[in-house]
Amino acid sequence: SMIALNPDEDTEMVNPARPNAQFGAFIESVSTEIGAATDIPVELLKLKFTSSYTAARAALLEFWKRVRIDKSAFAADFCDPIAQEILEQGILLGRVDAPGYFDDFAIRSGWLACGWHGQSMGQMNPDVEARAAKSRVDAGFSTHAKEAMEISGMDFDDIVQEQEVERRRLRDAGIVE
C-alpha cells in the first residue's frame, strides 16, 4: 500500500540484519494455531513426522476423521445437487428413462442414491492394515466393499472383475494353471 506522508514526516527502514533466536519457536506456535483452527495436526501441516509411528498414525487418523466430514459435506452440498440436475435434465429431454422419478419421493431417492468416494487415506504400514481389514471383514464388522474403498479407493466390484480378467490372461499365457 502507498501511504502519503506530510511534508514534515520521514520514513525509517527496519533493519532485519540480525537473526532472531525465537524464529523457530514463533513458526512452531503459528503452525500449532493454524493446525488448531483448521483441524490439521501439526505433523501433517508441516509434513514433519518426528514422533513415534503410533503418534504419527494417531495424528493421521484424527485428520482423516475431519476429511471424512468434509468429504460428506462436499458430496451433499455440491456433488448431489449437480447429479440431480443432470439426471433431471436427461429425464426431461427424454435421454434417460427413469420411471416414477417425478411421481414418488422414494423412487426419486432411489434414482439419486449414489456414493461419492474420492482419495483413500493411504497407509503407513500396508501389511498390518491389510491384516486388520481382513480381521474386520472376518469378524463381521466391515465388508469387502468398504475395506476396498478405504484401502485403495477402488470399487470392490471393479477389483473383482479386474482380478478375474487378470487370472484368465495369466492362464491363457500359460503363466499359471
CB atoms within 10 A of CB 172: 9
% of the chain beyond a pLDDT of 90: 54
Which among 123, 118, 124 has a CA at the least distance from the CA of 70?
118
Q: Are 118 and 153 in contact (CB under 8 A)?
A: yes
* Number of Cβ atoms within 10 Å of the Cβ of 67: 15
Q: What is the pLDDT of residues 14-39, one digit of tens each?
A: 776 667 788 888 988 999 999 999 98
Give me the pLDDT at residue 17, please: 66
pTM over cut 0.75: no
pLDDT at residue 143 above 70? yes
